Amino acid sequence: MGYLIIKALLSGAIIAAVSEIAKRSPGFGALVASLPLVSILGMMWLWRDTHDVQRMAAHAEGTFWFVLPSLPMFLLIPALLRRGVTFWPALAIGCILTIGLYFAMTWLGPRFGLKL
């Protein structure tokens, strides 16, 4: 239980740090947010818990393929905001797009030999 609490606190601290950094410098906050910190922590926790090479390799590869469908959201949201759409609807539309692209990736990926 203590291990789970440590994982949650560390992961939450990263999110809070990104938010605070972005208040002072949106560009630097974006840089920190774009770092694969969550993925790296996830891999560290997975490795510590399993030491399973095949599972780790599959996880890292799957992470790569699932990052791709999330990227358009980061172009759509600012485009919507600049066109006068308020934040919450822009975020919701970006999330809906991403969910749709995730479904497309899980449907198309295996047809191209990806193990997701």
Token duo for residue 29: 């906050």
Report domain extents, the chain: 53-116
pTM of the predicted protein model: 0.80
pLDDT tens-digit series, residues 69-107: 999 999 999 999 999 999 999 999 999 999 999 999 999
Looking at 1-116, list the stretches that DSSP marks H as alpha helix, in order from N- to C-terminal side: 2-24, 26-34, 37-50, 53-67, 73-82, 87-108
